[in-house]
Amino acid sequence: MRRNPAVPAFLLSISLLFILMAGCGSSTSGDIDIPITTELQDARSFFLQGREAFDLERRDEARTHFDQAIEADSTFALAYLYRSLCAESPGEQNFYADLAVQHVAGASDGEALLIDLREAEIQRDLDRRALLARRLKARYPRSPRALYLYAQVQAEKQDVYAERTALETALDINGLFAPALRAMANSYAFENPQNLREAERFARRYVNLYPDQADAHIVLGDVYRADMQLENARGEYTQAAIVDRDSYIAYVKRGHAQTFIGLYNDARRDYAQATELGIGPAKAQSAHYRTLTWIYAGDLPRAIEENEAVLHTLPLLGLDAGKDFQSYYNTWYNRFLMCTEAKRFPEAEEALRQCSQFARRIAEQVESQSYTRTTESEIALLEGRLALARGEFIAASGHTDRAVDFLRPVRSARKRENTELLLGRIQLALGNPARALDHLIEANQDLIQVKFYHALALEGIGRNTEAESLFREVAHWNFSDIEYAFIRERAMARVYGP
């Protein structure tokens, strides 16, 4: 599932895949909607303000209101849960999630289910989350929030039909429910079967209902980007920046549009503005996107230089290596991939050592055996990727075996997807496209890099029509992350020639 196409795949955040949002406007209670348990009116008022801001992706504002709700009622379990969703680090997320668990005895059954779902997400237990989401939906069948949560879990299970059906039901109940409008637009834009006309319909409906909200224009801009309407996308992101001058996301998104139009200097200015406006890790993420413009422009050495500059800049942005592990992880991870791609192996080794260190510190904050095992598995895959770049195929395969071993106790039907991607790449490098295809069809088909290597495997066995279709999809992707930066030019060459 690709809710935010600009986010890199591995450990770039531990943001929840199922965001617990209520309908915009007033909340109902009882069997219609999940209760809000607090006896203090001030706490309830602050919470509702925060939830409304959260629904519309105004996270900084939401964080402030949830803090106020907690200050008014220190036993408010649901406020702690939502505050964890607005946290700026894994440690902070866990801190507030633990407080939600500590106060769950005073919460309703529905709120307890939401808190259990949060715990299951930390444990990477998709089966349990699916069970809890079904229970929530059965308990509150007319709650847009419960239906939305159920839809998100179905999307992660890649049951798009069930996802969209639940979202449609949520919108039938509450047509103003912004999270469902956003999710429907994103689903039709980025999940198969794709339907860009439906995506635009839901995005326009969102804009028409909330014209003064930056997120509505951002969602429509994303749909335009998916439909190769880059100028229209840039216009919507500009409108988002007009209605909310403090929205760093609007500038990040416009930077993406400028990048794919080919206006690299304009894109860099937008990313610089986003860095200035962002808070905490958002500053670093915007700076990372700026480095990618050099890769898209065909200058990988300059991108590596810019990445080093970001490393030196992080302390100046107020990010501390002793606590802001995610931002430092992201920067070293990008450096590892860049240096590996450039075959600057000593630098890649150091970057891998550093990003592994920060990944493990993030896992320590999360305090989950499943998360720790997943982290060690992903580190093993990075080691395998470095071995593959060196042409050390036996060593690369050995690292995939280690990755699988780490994941054996993890309860998830999709736990091997990243391993299958690396195994497919190894077989492609060995000149075995048919064996590569066997692995790649088991990888996450929503990832753009999987589609690219899948296309290479199809091309290798002579299924050229299918390969060309996938290459074209990759070439027209228009959503920025570091993996895509490495393959976009190659896909464009397959479609349009060198």
pLDDT, tens only, 337-382: 999 999 999 999 999 999 999 999 999 988 888 889 999 999 999 9
Given this model, what pLDDT does residue 191 score?
93
pLDDT tens column, 233-290? 999 999 999 999 999 999 999 999 999 999 999 999 999 999 999 998 999 999 999 9
Whole-angstrom Cα distance, residue 181 to residue 163?
Answer: 13
Q: What is the CATH number of domain 177-278?
A: 1.25.40.10
Which amino acid, one-letter code, is at 247? Answer: S
Q: What is the C-alpha end-to-end distance of the chain, expressed in Å?
A: 32
Given this model, what pLDDT does residue 11 score?
32
Q: Is the pLDDT of residue 128 over 60?
A: yes
Whole-angstrom Cα distance, residue 478 to residue 489?
Answer: 12
Arithmetic mean of pLDDT, 158-184 = 97
Whole-angstrom Cα distance, residue 120 to residue 221?
Answer: 33
The H or E element that residue 30 is part of is none
Given this model, what pLDDT does residue 413 score?
82
Which amino acid, one-letter code, is at 295? Answer: I
Pull the structure tokens for residue 356.
């592994």
Q: Which residue did the predictor score with more confidence, 21 or 265?
A: 265
Given this model, what pLDDT does residue 88 score?
85
Arithmetic mean of pLDDT, 380-397 = 98
Given this model, what pLDDT does residue 10 score?
31
Q: Which residue did the predictor score with more confidence, 187 or 118?
A: 187
The model's confidence at residue 123, banded by pLDDT at 50, 70 and 90, is confident
Whole-angstrom Cα distance, residue 335 to residue 332?
Answer: 5
Which amino acid, one-letter code, is at 239? Answer: Q
The distance of Cα 352 from the centroid of its chain, to the nearest Å, equals 22
Question: Which of these ranges, 107-111, 362-366, 409-413, has the smallest mean pLDDT?
Answer: 409-413
What's the full length of the chain, in residues? 498
Arithmetic mean of pLDDT, 462-484 = 97
CB atoms within 10 A of CB 479: 17
Pull the structure tokens for residue 19.
């965001």
The dihedral of CA 396, 397, 399, 404: what is its sign? Answer: positive
Q: Where are the beta strands (DSSP E) in 311-441?
A: none
Give domain limits for the chain. Answer: 177-278, 424-498
Nearest to 427 by CA among 383, 417, 467, 419: 419
Whole-angstrom Cα distance, residue 335 to residue 186?
Answer: 30
Which amino acid, one-letter code, is at 243? Answer: V
Pull the structure tokens for residue 420.
């299958």
Q: Is the pLDDT of residue 464 over 70?
A: yes
The distance of Cα 141 from the centroid of its chain, to the nearest Å, equals 28
Given this model, what pLDDT does residue 372 score?
94
Q: Is the pLDDT of residue 168 over 60?
A: yes
Whole-angstrom Cα distance, residue 56 to residue 441?
Answer: 36
Nearest to 179 by CA among 53, 360, 326: 53
What one-character DSSP code corresponds to residue 194?
A: P
Q: Is the pLDDT of residue 395 over 60?
A: yes
Question: Which of these ranges, 19-23, 109-113, 463-467, has the smallest mean pLDDT?
Answer: 19-23
The pTM score is: 0.90
Please enumerate, as own/partner, the contacts of 108-113 that have beta carbons within 8 Å and a separation of 24 or more.
Answer: 108/34, 108/35, 108/37, 109/139, 110/34, 110/35, 110/136, 110/139, 110/140, 110/146, 111/34, 111/35, 111/36, 111/37, 111/77, 111/78, 111/81, 113/34, 113/139
